[in-house]
Structure 1
């Protein structure tokens, strides 16, 4: 249903998740499609990475240690605005509470999905956001 590859464009992705298995899985998935991917286990680590890596898309867990994904996205959006860029972002969370999903969208995530993540759908969403960003 969502079978659409992102390989038509070499994307740069930043994945932020405190679960090492999730980081490994998403790295494997997107590298197969030709994306350049860097992962971080925390918001602090992600912000350090943003100083030298300019991702096309951010994929972040909401519940991270020490600083949540809401705060991370606000900082990333501020940093990207200073660079004259806008970064599409996908929130992922184990929470199925409507409040968490609504808050994610309110702070600026383009999409919010529950874990476990449907990998075909996630690949489709990344592809769709990348295409929209090309025309922005």
Structure 2
């Protein structure tokens, strides 16, 4: 992978005409929670990357894409990312492995990036494994733009409003 993240820059030339039916442009511009945010989307499928990028860009979100877990891991170590959206089933390293590596990093800011997992599988096992691995939520393939943006908003609002760690420090509950 190159040091300049040539392939990780926001997708600029995506046609977003199909997204026009979901929301009015005036409504989109008034959603402050999305302004100035950067989301990293990870998937080996270019069509899924394009779809998610299209939806997120309509809300004024900067989107960085990666086609593998390895590439995504390098990006989160070097660039500020407000949210991670990752496919679980990728060739080579999985999304589960990616989030586990991120959660072990020393930097709290990086380690606690909110994350959404997605997959083609709707199995309950995939949902449980995603949460156990370190994702905050799981979606079956994000083909529903309204549900996707709702989950993104929930996690971004939660990360803005909290003054405590994503995972919390509950040591004060232990008996002394």
TM-score, normalised via structure 2 length = 0.70
1:100 aligns to 2:126 (yes or no)? yes
In the other structure, the counterpart of 2:99 is: 73
Q: Gaps (5+ residues) in structure 2?
A: 1-22, 163-176
In the other structure, the counterpart of 2:157 is: 131
Instruction: Tell me: higher relative CO, structure 1 or 2? Use CA pairs within 8 A at least 6 residues apart.
Output: 1
Output the aligned Cα RMSD. 1.9
Taking structure 1 as reference, are residues 60 and 38 closer, same or farther at Cα in structure 2, changes over 3 Å only? same
In the other structure, the counterpart of 2:63 is: 37
SS in structure 1 at match of 2:65: strand
Question: How many residues are paired up?
Answer: 133
In the other structure, the counterpart of 1:111 is: 137
Q: Whose strand proportion is higher, 1 or 2?
A: 1
Q: Gaps (5+ residues) in structure 1?
A: none
Runs of 4+ in structure 1 over 2 Å off: 3-7
Q: Contact 1:57/1:130 (CA < 8 Å) preserved in 2?
A: yes
